[in-house]
Amino acid sequence: MIKEPTYELDLSIVISLLNEKDSLPELVSWIERVMTAQKYKYEIIMVDDGSTDGSWDTIQELSEKNPSIRGISFRRNYGKSAALYHGFKAAQGRVVVTMDADLQDSPEEIPEMYRMVVEDGWDIVSGWKQNRQDNKFTKNIPSKLYNWTARKVTGVKLHDMNCGLKAYKNEVVKNVEVYSEMHRYIPYLAKNAGFTKITEKPVHHQKRKYGKSKFGIERFVNGFLDLLSLWFLSTFGKKPMHFFGFTGIITFLAGIICAVSVIIIKLVNQANGIKYRPVTDQPLFYLALVALVIGVLLFLAGFICEMISRSGQDRNKYNIKDEI
């Protein structure tokens, strides 16, 4: 039986940031007050995602005053997923909490989220900003539509999939690979990895105090596209022939049926002396040919994807829950 690992730290707080110099001292002070009151052993991992406003200098100054603060600095902006990936890789705490650096997430929520993971046994506790302090038309309404779609596609029943304030078991973040822009869907990635105990907690959301948002309305469009990509990869990533082969067969059969129908109708009309158009003059005949070609191409694409999938280096990488 695999023994549960022991951790020297109770909490790892991972903060991804971009040009948040003004908010960092206040955020760190707030976190320190909460951690001291709860007597947690903790670390704060700040990942500077290519800031140009001097945020890294501020992080260095803060770490000199508090040795619990660790920093990672990117040479340029790579995105939140890359920042979280490296933050998760460095995290040493029993529970890993992610939060934004803009002071909209309250550190006061952390103790209860920690308790829900440690005592109640949840794999992930996701924040739910019930009363958002953002613009209603540019963020609130699109966010509701986005989250409704995400629930239907992923099957993960969260009202706020993209909330930055989340708490994870350390085991979860070590077994989930965050890449591209998939930080929005870490709960879905965790579910696919076998971590199904996922819940949410209503959290307080505050107005931005410093700077401006780094995300515009385009993030919802990108979010939908990423959701479709993730759904396809998780559903057909290991069995692409199931998608391409099935679609190719259906398309090919449709083309065959259309072509045969055109020919049969011509022969019947010819036998009965009815005036008819030549087969090559009928648009349906060419549509049938196109369907036949597309069907064959889809089938071949399925074979190629199968070969690529089976030659992948991680094809035998599985998460082991227990051993005897």
Per-residue confidence at 324, pLDDT binned at 50, 70, 90?
A: very low
Per the CB < 8 A criterion, the answer to whether 191 and 198 are in contact is yes
**Domain residue extents for the chain:** 9-236, 240-310
The CATH superfamily assigned to 9-236 is: Spore Coat Polysaccharide Biosynthesis Protein SpsA; Chain A (3.90.550.10)
pLDDT, tens only, 217-270: 566 566 667 777 767 766 776 778 888 888 899 999 999 999 888 888 888 888
Share the mean pLDDT of the chain. Answer: 85
Place of tokens 């005053």: 65
- Taking CA atoms, 23 is separated from 70, 170, 206, 239, in Å, by 17, 27, 13, 47
* Res 318 pLDDT > 60: no
Per-residue confidence at 312, pLDDT binned at 50, 70, 90?
A: low
Tell me if the pTM is above 0.85.
no
Of residues 278 and 42, more confidently modeled:
42
pLDDT of residue 179: 77
Which residues on neighbouring strands pair with residue 127, listed in sequence order? 201
- Taking CA atoms, 87 is separated from 63, 146, 149, 164, in Å, by 16, 26, 28, 14
